A and B are shown apart, each in its own frame.
Chain A
Amino acid sequence: MTKKQRVMLTRILVSAAMLIVLSFLPVTGVIRFILYMAVYLVIGYDILRKAGKGIRNRQVFDESFLMAIATIGAIALAIYEKSGDYTEAIAVMLFYQIGEWFQSYAVGKSRRNISELMDIRPDYANIEKNGKLEKADPDEVEIGSVIVVQPGEKVPIDGIIVEGEATLNTSALTGESLPRDVHVGDEIISGCIDMTGLLKIRTTKEFGESTVSKILDLVENASSRKSKSEDFIAKFARVYTPAVCGAALLLAVLPPLVNMLVLGQFADWETWIYRALTFLVVSCPCALVISIPLSFFAGIGGASKAGVLVKGSNYLETLSQTRIVVFDKTGTLTQGVFEVNGIHHSGMDEEKLIEYAALAESASSHPISKSLRRAYGKEIDRGRVTDIREISGGGVIAKVDGREVAAGNDKLMDRLNVDYIDCHSVGTIIHIAIDGKYMGHIVISDVIKPHSQEAIRRLKAAGVKKTVMLTGDAEKVARQVAGELGLDEVYSELLPAGKVEKVEELLKNKPEKEKLAFVGDGINDAPVLGRADIGIAMGAMGSDAAIEAADVVLMDDDPLKISKAIKISRKCLRIVYQNIVFAIGVKLLCLGLVAVGAAGMWLAIFGDVGVMILAVLNAIRALFVKNL
């Protein structure tokens, strides 16, 4: 609780207690008036002051103004009627304040709930100087400096580990609770928390360009763009409040005049003025103007806790209307790393075959050779390899342990007159021949991410009508991946410009209301991210280009997060519509009842404060996204 909230709570409790005590005291006349006015001022002085200031600043039609008019009017009426019933006016003020207090408390609570994400801002970087650690401002650390991160500390700047190993907690960045192990040579991004070991890191970026700064920048700049619903409510409130004030005035004046002049009956001013004042209390638009922005605030906050950063409430709105999802293949649905995916027809122990292949290819820096070495997994003993000959466009021939190993494509096998078995798998095929004898082949291909298939299925379940994959890869590869994942359409062998054209074509052929989302890893697809209705970038933990180009950033590269993001947005928007319909509906109902005299001040208080509290509680629900 903030100081302000504590003060307000005290005022609420004190005035409520005073009101109860007063109701048992048999005081009358002027003394009664003075005592009740004391309570009224305790609970409402700031509202009166605000209303006064509002009038002076020509901001007339706000909630304070409505409350001030309604309560002062009710008091004046009580004096005029000599009824001495001031309780209702005070109750209006009291409950209004309770509602406001509750709202402010709920906001504070949800803000704290979200602020865990904000905790990633590092305050210092440790620099070793003459054997001692010194704390430096991360802003002043130059690229290439070596910084030290101790267990329990945040990594302040992106870099490469030069010494030590540790387990990192990346949950603040990705929402992923599984810790990650890092070793010498690994790239490390700022914002992770070192949980176990001492790390020395050579920085590769300035603080301002580091992941953590980019993310904080994104989060702080979020909500700069308003959604249509928020615009609607803002416009609605501008028209609505003056309109109900006018209606209240008519209600106070018209029926009595009609009674008096047309029907020739008793005017009954008091009844109609009382109804008009009650009308004003109901009409307060707080429930709407507070709960709608609050829903988006909670929705964006909840999303960022789940590792989905949304740049503004308008994007949350668009995301909820997504019906077509277009994917980039490499890095989005597939790992983008080549891996040994199969060994076929091996004439020897498979591990042995990989070992020979890795050794033969040990001198090459080609990605294929790298993935062979990765599959081998052990240190390469270069001493075992001699006479390496690269056959351009074919492969490698080398002597390993004295045996001649040939590793390469079918052309190489043809050249060596080795009979080979063709492979029907998709990917790069490495045939191996040892001492002129065929020993089988190794398939190396880009691997589909473990969750891709499930992700597509969930998107469909979430109401996405069409899934499309765009790729620069060969048709055969693209078809195989698309078939395996169950995608509806696939376009292959596209250049980056071709991807933009395809997306534009898809945009042209879809109905206006169905939004198209493009999901990419941010590398080479910034123009497409910008062109789609909504651009979703995956894996902010690698490319900062993605953070800038996209509207929604998924912190890690798990494709399941796409459907999660859509579900979060749907939930948020559903809450927004519920609140709009609920609040306007209940208010109209109450207004009607009050106008015909079927309900009094207490119902009006419910129509104002009750509706607001319910709407706020509903809005807060948008924060909880864990089980979506």
Chain B
Amino acid sequence: MGTQMKKTYKIEVDCANCANKMEEAAAHTPGVKSATVNFMTLKMIVEFEEGQDPKTVMQQVLKNCKKVEDECEIYL
């Protein structure tokens, strides 16, 4: 069993619904096992699938999030 890959990123998003959109976009990105956006603390917690490189996956996550919510930001 590999180690569980879970990382927390600081994000910037304006409304609670946009946060939900980001969460959905991130969760549907290949390589992401699950994603949670916490609007209260402005954090995104991403759990990666085994053998995935968080850096490359997160680039794609950011891209997908920008697609659904233009004004969001993830600090990688």
Chain A positions near chain B (C-beta within 8 angstroms): 4, 49-50, 53-54, 57, 59, 100, 103-104, 107, 111, 114, 118, 219-224, 226, 230, 234, 289-290, 293-294, 296-297, 300-301
6 nearest A-B pairs in the assembled complex, by CB-CB distance = A293-B16, A224-B36, A289-B17, A57-B67, A294-B16, A50-B70
B74 at the interface (CB under 8 A from A): no
> With a CB–CB cut-off of 8 A, which chain A residues contact B42?
111
Main secondary structure of the interface of B (DSSP, over half): mixed
Knowing A104-B14, A104-B15, A297-B16 touch, does A223 contact B40 (C-beta < 8 A)? yes
B8 at the interface (CB under 8 A from A): yes
B33 at the interface (CB under 8 A from A): no
User: How many Cβ-Cβ contacts under 8 Å join chain A to chain B?
Assistant: 63
* Of the residues A53, A220, A230, A294, contact of B41 by C-beta under 8 Å: A220
> With a CB–CB cut-off of 8 A, which chain B residues contact A100?
14
B68 adjacent to A219 (CB under 8 Å): no
Q: Separation in Å of the A300 CB from the closest CB of chain B? A: 7
Chain B positions near chain A (C-beta within 8 angstroms): 8, 14-17, 19-20, 36, 38-43, 45, 67-68, 70-71
A293 adjacent to B45 (CB under 8 Å): no
Tell which of B17, B36, B39, B71 has the most Cβ of chain A within 10 Å: B17
* Of the residues B17, B38, B70, contact of A223 by C-beta under 8 Å: B38
A297 adjacent to B70 (CB under 8 Å): no
Give the distance in Å from the alpha carbon of A234 to the alpha carbon of B67 in the complex. 18
Tell which of B19, B36, B40 has the most Cβ of chain A within 10 Å: B40
Interchain Cβ contacts under 8 Å between A and B, 30 examples = A4-B14, A49-B70, A50-B70, A54-B70, A59-B67, A59-B68, A103-B15, A107-B16, A220-B38, A220-B45, A221-B36, A221-B45, A222-B38, A222-B40, A223-B38, A223-B39, A223-B40, A224-B45, A230-B20, A289-B17, A290-B16, A293-B19, A293-B20, A293-B39, A294-B15, A294-B16, A296-B16, A297-B16, A297-B39, A300-B40
* Of the residues A49, A104, A221, A234, contact of B20 by C-beta under 8 Å: A234
Residue of B nearest to A288 (CB): B17
A107 adjacent to B14 (CB under 8 Å): yes
A221 adjacent to B67 (CB under 8 Å): no
Residue of B nearest to A304 (CB): B40
Tell which of B16, B38, B39, B70 has the most Cβ of chain A within 10 Å: B16
Q: Separation in Å of the B60 CB from the closest CB of chain A? A: 14
Residue of A nearest to B43 (CB): A220
Residue of A nearest to B25 (CB): A59
Given A54-B70, A224-B45, A293-B15, 5 further pairs, Cβ under 8 A: A57-B67, A223-B36, A293-B17, A293-B20, A294-B16
Q: Separation in Å of the B7 CB from the closest CB of chain A? A: 12
Tell which of A118, A220, A234, A294 has the most Cβ of chain B within 10 Å: A220
Knowing A118-B41, A290-B15, A290-B16 touch, does A53 contact B36 (C-beta < 8 A)? no
Q: Separation in Å of the A331 CB from the closest CB of chain B? A: 30
A219 adjacent to B40 (CB under 8 Å): yes
Give the distance in Å from the alpha carbon of A100 to the alpha carbon of B43 in the complex. 22
Residue of B nearest to A285 (CB): B17
Tell which of A59, A100, A300 has the most Cβ of chain B within 10 Å: A59
Give the distance in Å from the alpha carbon of A296 to the alpha carbon of B17 in the complex. 11
> With a CB–CB cut-off of 8 A, which chain B residues contact A234?
20
* Of the residues B15, B16, B43, B70, contact of A53 by C-beta under 8 Å: B70
Residue of B nearest to A294 (CB): B16
> With a CB–CB cut-off of 8 A, which chain A residues contact B16?
107, 290, 293-294, 296-297
Give the distance in Å from the alpha carbon of A118 to the alpha carbon of B37 in the complex. 16
Knowing A59-B67, A107-B14, A290-B15 touch, does A221 contact B40 (C-beta < 8 A)? no
Q: Separation in Å of the A8 CB from the closest CB of chain B? A: 10
Give the distance in Å from the alpha carbon of A300 to the alpha carbon of B41 in the complex. 12
B17 adjacent to A290 (CB under 8 Å): yes
Give the distance in Å from the alpha carbon of A4 to the alpha carbon of B15 in the complex. 13
Give the distance in Å from the alpha carbon of A300 to the alpha carbon of B38 in the complex. 12
Give the distance in Å from the alpha carbon of A617 to the alpha carbon of B23 in the complex. 25
A111 adjacent to B36 (CB under 8 Å): no
> With a CB–CB cut-off of 8 A, which chain A residues contact B43?
220
Give the distance in Å from the alpha carbon of A599 to the alpha carbon of B57 in the complex. 50
B8 adjacent to A220 (CB under 8 Å): yes
> With a CB–CB cut-off of 8 A, which chain B residues contact A111?
40, 42
> With a CB–CB cut-off of 8 A, which chain B residues contact A219?
40-41
Q: Separation in Å of the A308 CB from the closest CB of chain B? A: 14
Residue of B nearest to A110 (CB): B40
Give the distance in Å from the alpha carbon of A53 to the alpha carbon of B63 in the complex. 13
Residue of A nearest to B14 (CB): A104
Give the distance in Å from the alpha carbon of A290 to the alpha carbon of B15 in the complex. 7
Give the distance in Å from the alpha carbon of A576 to the alpha carbon of B67 in the complex. 29
Tell which of B38, B41, B68 has the most Cβ of chain A within 10 Å: B41
Give the distance in Å from the alpha carbon of A57 to the alpha carbon of B69 in the complex. 10
Give the distance in Å from the alpha carbon of A138 to the alpha carbon of B42 in the complex. 23
Q: Separation in Å of the A526 CB from the closest CB of chain B? A: 21
Give the distance in Å from the alpha carbon of A2 to the alpha carbon of B36 in the complex. 24
> With a CB–CB cut-off of 8 A, which chain A residues contact B68?
57, 59
> With a CB–CB cut-off of 8 A, which chain B residues contact A103?
14-15
Q: Separation in Å of the A577 CB from the closest CB of chain B? A: 17
> With a CB–CB cut-off of 8 A, which chain B residues contact A289?
17
* Of the residues B8, B15, B41, contact of A107 by C-beta under 8 Å: B15
Give the distance in Å from the alpha carbon of A470 to the alpha carbon of B72 in the complex. 49
> With a CB–CB cut-off of 8 A, which chain B residues contact A118?
41
A297 adjacent to B67 (CB under 8 Å): no
Give the distance in Å from the alpha carbon of A49 to the alpha carbon of B70 in the complex. 9
Q: Separation in Å of the B73 CB from the closest CB of chain A? A: 10
Q: Separation in Å of the A470 CB from the closest CB of chain B? A: 34
Q: Separation in Å of the A508 CB from the closest CB of chain B? A: 32
Q: Separation in Å of the B61 CB from the closest CB of chain A? A: 15
B45 adjacent to A297 (CB under 8 Å): no
> With a CB–CB cut-off of 8 A, which chain B residues contact A54?
70
